[in-house]
Every structure is written in structure tokens, then in C-alpha cells.
Amino acid sequence: MVKLIIFFRQPADTQAFEDHFAHRHVPLIAAMPGVVRTSVSRALGAPRGEPPYYLVHDVYFADMAALNYALNSAQGRAAGADLMMFARDIVSLMFAEVWGEDPFEMARAAKTAPQSDPAPDAIASAPEPAMLDTEAGAEADPVVVIEEHPEVAANDQPPSPAAGAASDPTDTAPLSARADHPT
């Protein structure tokens, strides 16, 4: 598997950039032939100073032949022209080979396998994220609550999926479509 990695530096107008990216550019990328999946990451910070990129868009293909075919297709040329129109001065591109097994693809495959439904009491007992109010009247920020799981220490096995993670690691929705998107 290979991917086209599109790096975007900080845009001058973040709102206009994200609107165009989500509503115009992402659909053009999705229409390209051979796209296996995509992911978008927005930088939160860097160990030292500001991160060099604001947004990273990964577009996955089965192999380089499929990637080249997609880039040279009518849809690929349209996506490239759009990219140069709205992000020419802030974009860099790179091709990369994906090494090893992709944990997200493995999770997707596991989802398609027949599974029993978790017990209703396991769902009801799943922990809710805690909220921390730092100032009176301030909007609370989510805080991750780390719970001890004696069964992990006892046999080095993680808790069963019935204990439930709150989010879906296979979510590939565009930023604008996500409920937790700040804009």
C-alpha cells in the first residue's frame, strides 16, 4: 500500500481554507479512481515551537501504479488544479510506502466479522468522559479519565471491547462533518 501525503502550512484565512478543503477539495480527492481510504490530521502542536504544518491529508492507494493512474485521471487532474488554485503557496506533496499492517484496516476487517452484541449492562456501565471546570462560568474541557483495570495486571490482556471505547478508530469523516470539529 502507498499513499499520497499532502502537507498544508498555516493558511492566511483558516475558515475559508477549511471550508474549501472540506466542501470542494475532499470530494474531488474522493472521486479519484483507486482511492482505498483517506485520513486528515490537524496539527495540535509540536515538541518545540509551532508545527511546520497545519493540516496533513493522507490518500491511500493499493500501489504506485494505482496512485499514478489516479493522478493522471480526469478526476486527479481536477483535484490537482483545485489544489494549486486554493493552496499553491502553502502545500507540499510526498509519496510514501505504508509499512506493516495498517491497524485501521485491521479494525475495519474485524468490524465486518460476525460479532455478538455487547451485554446491555456493559454498555450502561461504560464510563463517560469527565469534564473539568477550570473557572466559574468557563466552558469545561474534556479530561481523559484513566481507570485501573485489575484484569490487565492479572493476565496482561486489555479489557474486552464490551468495556467500550467512546470513539471509533476507523472514523474517516471529513473535518467539517465531525461533531467534534471546532469550526
pLDDT at residue 124 tops 60 = no
Q: Decide which of 107 and 175 is more confident.
A: 107
Contacts of 177 (CB under 8 A, 6+ apart): 22
User: What's the distance, Cα to Cα, between the start and end of the chain in Å?
Assistant: 33
Q: List Cα–Cα distances, 83 to 26, 60, 141, in angstroms.
A: 10, 17, 35
Sign of CA dihedral 57, 58, 64, 66: negative
Q: Decide which of 116 and 146 is more confident.
A: 116
Q: Decide which of 133 and 72 is more confident.
A: 72
Q: How far is 26 from 20, CA to CA, in rounded Å?
A: 9
pLDDT at residue 32 tops 60 = yes
pLDDT at res. 115: 54
Q: Return the percentage of the chain with pLDDT > 70, whole number.
A: 58
- Per-residue pLDDT of 59-94, as tens digits, reads 999 999 999 999 999 999 999 999 999 999 999 999
pLDDT at res. 129: 46
Contacts of 145 (CB under 8 A, 6+ apart): 127, 129, 130
Q: List Cα–Cα distances, 88 to 15, 31, 38, in angstroms.
A: 17, 21, 21
Contact criterion met (CB below 8 Å) for 175 and 181: yes
pLDDT at residue 46 tops 70 = yes
* Residue 107, C-alpha cell as written in the block: 479494525
Q: Is 145 exposed, middle or buried (0-12, 13-18, 19+ CB in 10 A)?
A: exposed
* Domain definitions of the chain by residue range: 2-104
Class of CATH domain 2-104: alpha beta
pLDDT at res. 126: 52
Q: How far is 40 from 25, CA to CA, in rounded Å?
A: 12
pTM (2 decimals)? 0.56
* Residue 82, C-alpha cell as written in the block: 483545485
